[in-house]
Structure 1
Amino acid sequence: MNQLATKSDVARQLQKEILSLQGFKTASDGPQRSLHFGELEKAFPNQVFPTGAVHEFLSSGMDDVAATTGFMLGLLGKLLEKGGACLWISMNRTLFPPAMKFFGIEPDKVIFIDLLKEQDVLWAVEESLKCDALTAVVGELNEISLTQSRRLQLAVEHSRVTGFLHRCNPRSVNTLACVSRWKVKPIPSQLEDGMPGVGFPRWHVQLLKVRNGEPGEWKLEWSDGQFNYLEKEIKVLEGKKLLQVG
């Protein structure tokens, strides 16, 4: 029994060291905490959304940009729950800061940096990711090379800051050193019966790549301050439509 326990401990330690070398280091004060993303978190190593790492988001049009921004805000809201600040660095920012309150983010917790050149955005993102006083950094840019992305990943491995790279219509979807690659598209919201206006934002979220995890896709709605999964609800609605047609 003791021999089996020893082998198990060795295996866990080896797995921890491998994940650490690949950018999944745990915080110095203990293991990473769950951000309560439900099924989505199960796709990641140790079933915890990786903080202190860089995540890549791809968009192919303005609708996708808006959807991806909303999804990122949902992630950031959870990251900033325990305090801290975020830098949002871009050239053509379209985000309306007061709208962040819907995702649980106080606007004064986010500092916007608007620059004129993409190379300046990349430089500012790298320098910001080195600042351990921050919780997260968002960089909106189009092009980034593998070597440049490695510099960003090395920065967060020391600072433990979480980085989001949002790329709209890049010339090529090249390999990067980011721990994950996402693609988010909007899906129609559902209005309550007899209620005017618009429903809660909904997205089709694809986790295209994740290091040492399992890619997947989900249909999500942001409501009641959290991500809610729609698969069961969508199946019920489809069933009702089939009954009506029949």
Structure 2
Amino acid sequence: MDRPALMAALRARIGRLERGGAASALARAEAGSVPLADTIDATLPDGGLARAGLHEILAAEAGAATGFASLILGRASSLTGAAGGGPILWIGPDPDAWPSGLARYGLSPADLIMVRAPRPADALWAMEEALRCPAVAGALLTLADIDLTAARRLQLAAEAGGALGLLLRPDTEDPGPSAALTRWRVNALPSLGGNQHSLGDPRWSLDLLRCRGGQPRSWTATWRTTLDRLDTEADTTPIPATRRRRA
């Protein structure tokens, strides 16, 4: 799809969402945060991942990072109360997320809108438009590189619309500065309880590298698939400087 067609299609889709009577930006902002796990939420300034904000995930292992992102977006889309839930936009040059696989982490395929934007400029535009829409619960952008100015625009868009935004990027030696409220590094660990008939529960190494108003931390986390719950081991000590050197 070329850029004019992409813009027209996305504008039409967002227009329909806005007319659908979803939560206002103010209601979303007042909702506060998206919960992860008690031990993680207790260390975050907003008691969870702040809505109306941008968060960055560096993928040390692609599958683990996608799972963690799906967990966050699934919870954002299913929040109830004044802020309601809402659809999730997954934006990238060739979004290859498997909706049925994402459902394992609580992200319903019915809430998911996939947006293919081959050019980085188009992807950034689509992400900004999605975050500004008060009917959108959250949006994810897969992008290898992003400059500070573009990241700031996305943060401002999230503040204006009230959605939770995620940047999903490869983990590199120097990811550069960030305007996001938090920056995470996610790696895979051996699953728990797997056998020849079951994949087991996914386990991740979660490094909170940056947190506006908070401190870097690290956890070993297990996603309890059947319980829809993220459990963490008792590891909330600050990340050593050698592990934070790339943050």
What's the TM-score once normalised by structure 1's chain length? 0.76
| Bigger helix share | 1
Counterpart among 146, 169, 173 of residue 167 in structure 1: 169
> Aligned with 1:149: secondary structure?
helix
Structure 1 CA distance, aligned partners of 2:173 and 2:134?
32
By how many angstroms is 1:36 displaced? 5.4
Residue matched to 1:77: 74
Q: Does 1:153 align with 2:151?
A: no
The code of the aligned residue for 2:158 comes to V
Q: Does 1:49 align with 2:49?
A: yes
C-alpha offsets along residues 29-58 of structure 1, whole Å, 9 cap, x if unaligned?
Answer: 745256252111122114332111000111
> Aligned with 1:150: secondary structure?
helix
Residues 64-213 of structure 1: matches in 2 within 5 Å?
64-82=61-79, 83-168=85-170, 172-191=174-193, 196-213=197-214
The code of the aligned residue for 1:112 comes to M
Q: Does the CA-based 8 Å contact 1:74-1:226 persist in structure 2?
A: no
Structure 2 CA distance, aligned partners of 1:54 and 1:100?
21
Residue matched to 2:6: none
By how many angstroms is 1:155 displaced? 1.0
> Aligned with 2:52: secondary structure?
coil
Q: Does the CA-based 8 Å contact 1:143-1:171 persist in structure 2?
A: no
> Aligned with 2:139: secondary structure?
strand
Structure 1 CA distance, aligned partners of 2:29 and 2:179?
25
- Share of identical aligned residues, percent? 29
Q: How many pairs does the alignment contain?
A: 204
Q: Max radius of gyration: which structure?
A: 1
The code of the aligned residue for 1:127 comes to E
Counterpart among 223, 228, 240 of residue 225 in structure 1: 228
> Aligned with 2:204: secondary structure?
strand
Q: Does the CA-based 8 Å contact 1:43-1:215 persist in structure 2?
A: no
By how many angstroms is 1:102 displaced? 1.6
Please list every run of 5 or more consecutive structure 2 residues that lacks an aligned counterpart in the other structure: 1-24, 80-84, 236-247
By how many angstroms is 1:161 displaced? 0.8
The code of the aligned residue for 1:197 comes to S
By how many angstroms is 1:105 displaced? 2.2
What's the TM-score once normalised by structure 2's chain length? 0.75
Call closer, same or farther: CA 1:80–1:48 in 2, change over 3 Å: same
RMSD: 2.4
